[in-house]
């Protein structure tokens, strides 16, 4: 039961950590599309939105990289960690 609970909680944390940047990417993409639908798009605004998309994409990539490092550890040991620090 304990291993299942820990696995379940880990999956929830990972899903949450990925959900945030992916939701932000969806929102920024929508705003970007609307910004391009105007007669005279504001290129500064568009650049800012693209920068935000890049930041969120990198954030999701970092979550995956940290997860891969964590899962590739051969030997698990009991250590104290700040889970928020690992996610961010």
Three-class secondary structure of residue 54 per DSSP = helix
The domain spans of the chain are: 2-73+81-87
pLDDT of residue 48: 98
pLDDT in tens, the chain (88 residues): 688 888 888 889 889 999 999 999 999 999 999 999 999 999 999 999 999 999 999 999 999 998 888 878 756 566 676 777 767 6
State the chain's maximal CA–CA distance in angstroms: 60
Look at the pTM and tell me if it is higher than 0.85.
no
pLDDT of residue 71: 77
């Amino acid at each position: 039961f304990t291993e299942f609970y820990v696995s379940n909680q880990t999956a929830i944390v990972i899903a949450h950590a990925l959900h945030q940047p992916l939701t932000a990417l969806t929102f920024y993409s929508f705003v970007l599309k609307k910004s391009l639908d105007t007669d005279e798009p504001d290129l500064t605004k568009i650049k800012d939105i693209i920068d935000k998309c890049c930041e969120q994409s990198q954030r999701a990539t970092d979550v995956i990289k940290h997860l891969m490092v964590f899962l590739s550890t051969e030997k698990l040991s009991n250590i104290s960690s700040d889970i928020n620090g690992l996610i961010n």
